[in-house]
Amino acid sequence: MKSYMVTVALGDFTEDFLSRIPLQRVQMSVLMQSNRLVTYALSMDRQTLWMIINAENEREIESIVTAMPLHKYMHIEEIRELMVHERAVPRQSIPLPAFSLN
């Protein structure tokens, strides 16, 4: 499986768009739990969404995006295969050996 940076332009925030946000958040959580969606970020102006997606190819990425509740408001601008993607690991998720006073 490969990692891709996906840049998505978002459409206008209509009533329909806003009503789909809760479903979109659930879908994003499911994708993150399955390790398909690694990270995502939304620009401050709410016009651009960046996602790191694990997939076999670009066609699979398009399928993932078109299955999202907000897909009709999402236009994929760019899909770039990544060579490296590192991210910080929260300290509490790093298994450390128990401390012993002996």
pLDDT tens for 36-80 read 999 999 999 999 999 999 999 999 999 999 999 999 999 999 999
- Residue 15 CA to residue 79 CA, distance in Å, equals 28
* Token output for 23: 């479903």
Confirm if 65 and 71 have CB atoms less than 8 A apart.
yes
Domain parsing of the chain, residue ranges: 2-84
CA atoms of 12 and 72, how far apart (whole Å): 11
Mean pLDDT of 29-38: 95
β-pair partners for 90:
none
Average pLDDT (73-91) is 86
pTM of structure: 0.80
Pick the CATH number of 2-84 from 2.60.40.10, 3.90.1200.10, 3.30.70.1060, 3.30.365.10: 3.30.70.1060
